[in-house]
Structure 1
Amino acid sequence: MYCNNVEECFRQISTYFNGKSTGYALVFDTENIGVYSEVIQRLEADKSKNCMFVSNSCQKNELPDIDMCISEISKSGDFVLIGSSQALMLKSERDLENHVDLLFEQSISGHALVILNYCRRYIKKFESRDPRISNRVLLVGGGESPIPQIEIINESMNTVENAFVGINGLLAYLERMTESQLKEHRILPVKTRFRKRFFSQAVFQVTEVDGVYESLSKKYSDIAGATEKNYGTEVQWRWLNEKMLYHKSLSSVVKDELGTTSNFEVIIQDIDLQNEPYKSWLFWLAIKAFGTNNPYLNMVISGSKSVEDFEERIYLDLANADVNDPEFEKMYAERKRLLDKIPENLPMLAKYCERVGKYEKNAVYYLTDRSENEQYEFVRYLSIYDYTDDELFRAVKHFSLMLSLYLQPFVFDGVNTKVSEADVGLRDVLTEYFQEYKVQKVTNKIHLDFENKVNNYAKERPYNKLRPRSNIVSQLNKTDSELFFFDALGVEYLAFIKAKCEQYGLVVEISVAHCELPSITEKNKEFIQYFGGNYKKINELDELKHHSQVFDYEKRKEPVHLFRELEIIEEELRRIQSLLVQGCMSKAVIVSDHGASRLAVISGEENDSMLKLDEKGQHSGRCCPVESDPQIASAAFEDGFAVLANYERFKGGRKANVEVHGGATLEEVLVPVIVLSKRPENVEYCFTDPIIILKQKEVATLTLYCNIPMNKPRILVGQRFYDGEFVADQKHAKFIMPELKRSRNYVAELYDGDTSLSVSLEFKVQKSMGQEVDLFA
């Protein structure tokens, strides 16, 4: 009898068990494992029937006694026999067919239901022989499920996990197997004393694991040609073997599981090397088999013995490379990109830092700025070894873009630093001073000649030649602008700020001023009044310098805090850029109250005067309240304070833990006023007067105008470059061209430094009336 579904089937089963015994068993069969498992689960839940599993008739690691099972269900009572077809599928098709025949001939005293699997063709054969059999048969469809494969494993092998123990263990699983289990595991491993030849006639496909790898190699040419047995454990090869059932090649499996058979350096971010063992191994195996376009990853994989050492080699293998190797820079960059894509492994980073120490001063070329460990090691090497300026800038450029931008020179020029005509030389002094200061801050050293400069400036106090901050802020156009009060932002960061603003598409206008003494916040907030008291206060930089729980000079001398300083500035510039782009304001005005000195912290010297602070730690001893001028050569007297202008501190002042202010060194006193705006969509260039009229003994001069401040304006006329000189502001640049003496039309190609702006402007040179006409012009 054919049943359309399981419900109809169980109605027939109930009718059979509730009626008089027919003297014969009721035989159920389905080819669909989902239907089969549902029927078994419902029968097990029916406590009115005695469910007999053939697997229970097995002695230890022996075949089942099916005759005993048939004899048992032939007795009086209600029985269900499960697993006989699976057991006989291990023997042969003939034994299975004879078993079905016996079921139809066997007489019983009570009721018995026999659950079969994959036996429909035998049932049909016997039905054609005796049509009466159809009344004792229940057939349910649902689609034919694949027959699982059996994998025989020698009992002595301990490398295979999750194998069934003995034939009874295998049969017990088959008797209750579900559709999802079959889908997940088509190959069923079983440890047994029987060998494959014992199952030579079995309906199941039976293989033997004396070598899963060997079996794979015979079947798949790309595994044979591109892998070795020691690339995987027995368990890993067995996992791959099961995956290969649905594929025709290793590359097909890799494509299905990983999404690609190339670009492995890109998808490494999708691989959890710690928590996805099989996927990680397949990833490793795929690189072993197919290679990559990434030389560093190829170097790592060539030395890797297993997936277990793979991550370690990604971290450590560069430590074995020669920094003078022509490929080193490429390997360094590729390792850096790889590490950016995988979770940080702190023990591996520590081990790497230890290993590169063998290169002494060249160890800096092996480090990246991607971790605090490496940042610390980098500045530590800069502090313990001597580097020339060229070596330092090369190492910094190699190590960190942010630090490289910080160390770029900032030129104090006629636009950003207004001084009297008599003091124009001060601009070059400041340019040199702050470049030297930054180098010493990074290398954690004070050079003797620089300290002598500081001591001289402590007496000369050249900062007084610059404009006071209030003079600059009071003259700003504040229409639709917002004030950002950036506490402790010194001029040392201007090169970094300027570079970042260019990167973010911001127009930056910088003015350099001096703050009031002492260089402490409460004495330097006068600029707030010019914005009606409305401002955003940015304290993070000042908090880092004074109250850091992480950075402390007494515990760690190296200036690793500098990386966080630059991050704070960059984060704030990003926020400002976002506000400008969103149209929340037209301009952002950044004003600082004071700068700070790292070198005064490194110096650690005490002033030998009689002055002593009463309050422990007040301003780290850089200034001391006094009633009258104490006449200290290295200290200014301002607003009731003696203010040190060298690198000393007054007695009683506690040592600063990161950086210090309150004194009168140039880095403490000089402050920036920065106006930021969004770069206009259309940048326009023109000459203020494109016609040059040459009078006798005069040289050709042009003034270029741009609607945004320019950086390093240059023009190319013919084959000659001319550098521009700013006029009043950075929007006007004057070009002096003594070589242009003929009356004619010219074309100027515009440049920013060495970068072409792809802009061409025409201008004309002509001689004034009354001069001799050039007949050959």
Structure 2
Amino acid sequence: MKFDECIKRVDRYLRSTDTQPRFVNIQNMIDLGRIKQHFHVGLNEFIEIESYCKEDENPNTDSLLNDLYHKQGVVFITGLTSFFMLCGEIELKRQLSQLIHFTTTNCHIVVLCYQCEKYLVTEDVRLERIIYNVDGEESFKPSLVFCPPEIPHIFNGTIIEGINRVANAVETINDDILYIRTRKHKSSYPHSLYHITEQNGAFEVLCTLDPSTNQLDINYGTTEQWTDALIDVSKHASWATLFTEIFSSFPNLELTATNWKVFDDKTKWLYFIALKIFGAKNNWCLNSAAPKATSVNSLIRCLFRSILSLDWNETDFWTKYAERKALLLSFGNPESEVLDYCAMVKSKGKYALYYLTDSTKAEQVLIFETLDTYAFDFSQEEVIGILKEIYPDLYDYLRPYRFKNDLLHSYFQTYKYEKVINKVFPEFENLVEEQAEKREYNLILPPRTEKIESIDKTDTHLYFIDAMGVEYLGFIMEKCRQKDLFADVTVCRCELPSITSCNKEFVEVFANAGAVLVPDKNGIKTLDEIKHHGQDDYDYRITMLPIHLIRELEIIEGILDKIKIKLANGVCRRVVMISDHGASRLSVISNRENKWEMATKGEHSGRCCPKNEINELPICATEENGFWVLANYDRFKGSRKANVEVHGGATLEEVTIPIIEITYRTLEIEIEMLTPEIIFNIMKKNAEIRLFSKTKLTNLSVSIAEKDYDAETSDGHVFLIKLLDLRKTGDYSVDVYTNNNKVATGLKFTANKEGLKENKLL
């Protein structure tokens, strides 16, 4: 029937004495609104089915019927059919049937039905008079999307709070999709006449809001994390826009990794999600770890393990190694993941050495452990080459210091290497035994007292470093170069026995000359305390690995850092580092107690004992200052073993000590190769190169193909280097030193033999 005809029929019913309910079916919400507006007058009462629902629950129609029974006047019921369409056709017809057969004598009831024409069909023709189907174009029936109540508001759809408000929304909101925040599930309404889908959490909503979310797994985050993310993404319309705001370098996420340590937990998680969606194409490590990661912690673990999939001899291995190392430093190298990685990397056997870094104490220790286990599976050159990449400080420790004496050079290079790999070679021990008898240090090395007087002590600070032997000189010289410090080194010998009480005369000399003693007359004893007392579990009884060297190098560099600050700030003009004596690690490793039972007990871990009239002086010992001092790796009986290192004896590592005068390098030293191409004759031994220095220099020398050559000069600017032993043609690289300080590296020249170039042209 027409709309106006329906209005007339309802009016007649309301004026009649007939109280059987009437059912008005409207096809669209415009007509529904018009009919409500028309009859919403006077004492007419409109009852919405929602008023008989508890929050987020279905309506209680029994209560509705009971109320209707007691009502008087005119009552319009709205929303009933729209709600029970949720429950399916059978339930909808049942509810309508109850009202159709409902009887009351006091009340006129009009049920406003919505899009229910086919459900109001009855076989009883007597009932047709109470059903009014209004003609009209049917409104589009919305789809319903069920969402949990905690899902935040999003801006591409209408949110309805609770299942109890569905009917009103269907009849008043002209949207294709209605989002219902409810604890109900689609399974609660298996026969629904609406199309229902579920978004059971923020993650599913995100998948709809930004389809790139479909690359992710819901298990990548907690409910709270996905909910927060939905709020943020809905404000920005997409993940990409959100990440652009948070990570300014997006999509270059590898650049943002440097901020990881200051990220809060939420930002770390968002960074992980950004990697999962967009990757980091410019960073091998991130890009290989991100696809495997399933959480923030998993991401870091995958970063650690990423390198294990590489072969150490791949051409780009060290490039990727450095990339990963820098990245893990940004991520803070969490201890739990470091320990996990150290356990995993052992699967590589001896090649684990290639996969470790010096970034963490655990890895440093494992480097020493691997060297100890597999020392003889590598050549010395291989080990040094690997350490250059994985542990630069240890590599610098093994750098040769140019003693200009073959014995000292070969002795300390071997000594340092054996200390690192925790071994004593038989041939080296033979050399120690030989020197225990010859004691050539007396001829090679001047006594320290002889060199102290000539040092300028004006405006000088003295750093007395207890137990710092010459083994650290290569390391110290390289660190001085890196810190723009200039070091002038004098190598000399201490007094015997090599103990502090016999070797601190220089302290008073400097104090009397007005030098500042840092920190005081007792000097800096940190190195000596490590060697004596085995701090931080360095004790040989706890671990036989030379891991104390880790801390020793840190201490020395820390001292040099403080020295640089003083010199750069003009606190003093010069700093002098002096040691009282050295120490021996190899004597501890050898673990030998000599065969002589002395009348006097050994002191200082058995390295010396007071002279007595009963015994004879052993051939491996020397007599000094009322002591018999061992010059090999033996130990007199009667004294406890050393914990880490030992001194008091007369081996080269115990008696050879440095005096290091340090100043701040204020001049920029430029060295130029004047002979980029030379021609030589082997028979004439006439190969030579020339260098030019803008700054006047003294004691200049060069290193070419691991050989050292002294330079000649008449003016300190132009230098001649004669290469009398040059035999091969080819390209050569030159490192330049002045007073053992490296001032230039990688200068190039090409050498050709006489006649060879002409023959090639012919």
- Give the shorter-chain TM-score range: 0.5 to 0.7
Q: CA deviation digits over 1:580-603, x for unaligned, max 9?
A: 001011111111100000000101
Report the residue type matching 2:462 in the other structure.
L
**1:398 and 2:404 matched:** no
Alignment of 1:199-598 (within 5 A): 209-210=199-200, 215-220=205-210, 222-223=212-213, 236-271=225-260, 276=265, 278-292=266-280, 293-385=282-374, 386=376, 387-413=378-404, 427-465=405-443, 466-533=445-512, 534-536=516-518, 537-550=523-536, 551-598=538-585
* C-alpha distance in 1 between matches for 2:322 and 2:437: 48
**Matching residue of 1:764:** none
**Matching residue of 2:147:** 153
* C-alpha distance in 2 between matches for 1:211 and 1:701: 77
Report the residue type matching 2:610 in the other structure.
P
Report the residue type matching 1:577 in the other structure.
K
Structure 1 residues 354 and 738: CA distance shift in structure 2, 3 A: closer
* C-alpha distance in 2 between matches for 1:279 and 1:552: 43
Structure 1 residues 461 and 217: CA distance shift in structure 2, 3 A: same
* C-alpha distance in 2 between matches for 1:56 and 1:270: 55
Report the residue type matching 1:300 in the other structure.
A
Q: CA deviation digits over 1:732-770, x for unaligned, max 9?
A: 88526699xxxxxxxxx997379868999xxxxxxxxxx
**1:192 and 2:177 matched:** no
| TM-fit CA distance, 1:286 | 1.2
Conservation of the 8 A alpha-carbon contact between 1:161 and 1:235: no
* C-alpha distance in 2 between matches for 1:435 and 1:518: 24
**1:62 and 2:81 matched:** no
**Matching residue of 1:622:** 607
Alignment of 1:2-21 (within 5 A): none
* C-alpha distance in 1 between matches for 2:383 and 2:327: 26
* C-alpha distance in 2 between matches for 1:633 and 1:553: 29
Conservation of the 8 A alpha-carbon contact between 2:669 and 2:743: no
Conservation of the 8 A alpha-carbon contact between 2:485 and 2:564: yes
Structure 1 residues 343 and 491: CA distance shift in structure 2, 3 A: same
Where structure 2 has 5 or more consecutive residues not aligned to the other structure, the ranges are 1-49, 64-78, 84-143, 154-159, 166-178, 674-683, 725-732, 749-762
What do you get for the CA RMSD once the two structures are aligned?
A: 4.6
Conservation of the 8 A alpha-carbon contact between 2:243 and 2:274: yes
* C-alpha distance in 2 between matches for 1:189 and 1:562: 65
* C-alpha distance in 1 between matches for 2:712 and 2:645: 35
Report the residue type matching 2:273 in the other structure.
L
Q: CA deviation digits over 1:677-730, x for unaligned, max 9?
A: 01123548899xxxxxxxxx9999999785455664599xxxxx99543689x9
Identical residues among aligned pairs (%): 36
Q: CA deviation digits over 1:62-110, x for unaligned, max 9?
A: 2799xx9xxxxxxxxxxxxxxxxxx9xx99xxxxxxxxxxxxxxxxxxx
Report the residue type matching 1:452 in the other structure.
N
Structure 1 residues 408 and 57: CA distance shift in structure 2, 3 A: farther
* C-alpha distance in 1 between matches for 2:211 and 2:54: 42
Structure 1 residues 703 and 326: CA distance shift in structure 2, 3 A: closer
* C-alpha distance in 2 between matches for 1:274 and 1:607: 61
Conservation of the 8 A alpha-carbon contact between 1:613 and 1:651: no
Instruction: Tell me the SS of whatever aligns to 1:470.
Output: helix
Structure 1 residues 229 and 348: CA distance shift in structure 2, 3 A: closer
Conservation of the 8 A alpha-carbon contact between 2:151 and 2:181: no
* C-alpha distance in 1 between matches for 2:409 and 2:256: 47
Alignment of 1:643-658 (within 5 A): 643-658=629-644
Structure 1 residues 682 and 255: CA distance shift in structure 2, 3 A: closer
**1:752 and 2:744 matched:** no
* C-alpha distance in 2 between matches for 1:398 and 1:702: 32
Instruction: Tell me the SS of whatever aligns to 1:621.
Output: coil
Report the residue type matching 1:243 in the other structure.
D
Report the residue type matching 1:461 in the other structure.
R
Conservation of the 8 A alpha-carbon contact between 2:162 and 2:180: no
| TM-fit CA distance, 1:382 | 0.8
Comparing 383-392 with 234-243, greater Cα deviation is found at: 234-243
| TM-fit CA distance, 1:455 | 0.3
Report the residue type matching 2:446 in the other structure.
R
Q: Which protein is bigger by CA-based radius of gyration? A: 2
Q: CA deviation digits over 1:566-614, x for unaligned, max 9?
A: 0100000110111000101111111110000000010110011121654
Conservation of the 8 A alpha-carbon contact between 1:152 and 1:195: no
Report the residue type matching 1:283 in the other structure.
Y
* C-alpha distance in 1 between matches for 2:382 and 2:182: 65
* C-alpha distance in 1 between matches for 2:59 and 2:648: 93
* C-alpha distance in 1 between matches for 2:690 and 2:203: 80
* C-alpha distance in 2 between matches for 1:652 and 1:758: 54
Structure 1 residues 675 and 228: CA distance shift in structure 2, 3 A: same
| TM-fit CA distance, 1:468 | 0.6
* C-alpha distance in 1 between matches for 2:248 and 2:163: 35
Report the residue type matching 2:464 in the other structure.
F
Report the residue type matching 2:506 in the other structure.
F
Structure 1 residues 327 and 549: CA distance shift in structure 2, 3 A: same
Structure 1 residues 508 and 162: CA distance shift in structure 2, 3 A: same
* C-alpha distance in 2 between matches for 1:698 and 1:392: 35
Conservation of the 8 A alpha-carbon contact between 2:533 and 2:539: no
**Matching residue of 2:91:** none
Report the residue type matching 2:386 in the other structure.
A
Structure 1 residues 230 and 686: CA distance shift in structure 2, 3 A: closer
| TM-fit CA distance, 1:653 | 1.3
Structure 1 residues 336 and 56: CA distance shift in structure 2, 3 A: farther
* C-alpha distance in 1 between matches for 2:653 and 2:163: 80
**Matching residue of 1:102:** none
Aligned length: 566
* C-alpha distance in 1 between matches for 2:367 and 2:734: 40
Where structure 1 has 5 or more consecutive residues not aligned to the other structure, the ranges are 1-54, 69-86, 92-149, 173-186, 201-205, 414-426, 688-696, 716-720, 740-748, 761-777
Structure 1 residues 750 and 214: CA distance shift in structure 2, 3 A: closer
| TM-fit CA distance, 1:649 | 0.9
Report the residue type matching 2:487 in the other structure.
V
Comparing 604-613 with 371-380, greater Cα deviation is found at: 604-613
* C-alpha distance in 1 between matches for 2:689 and 2:432: 41
* C-alpha distance in 2 between matches for 1:334 and 1:703: 37
| TM-fit CA distance, 1:247 | 1.4
| TM-fit CA distance, 1:355 | 1.5
Report the residue type matching 2:605 in the other structure.
S
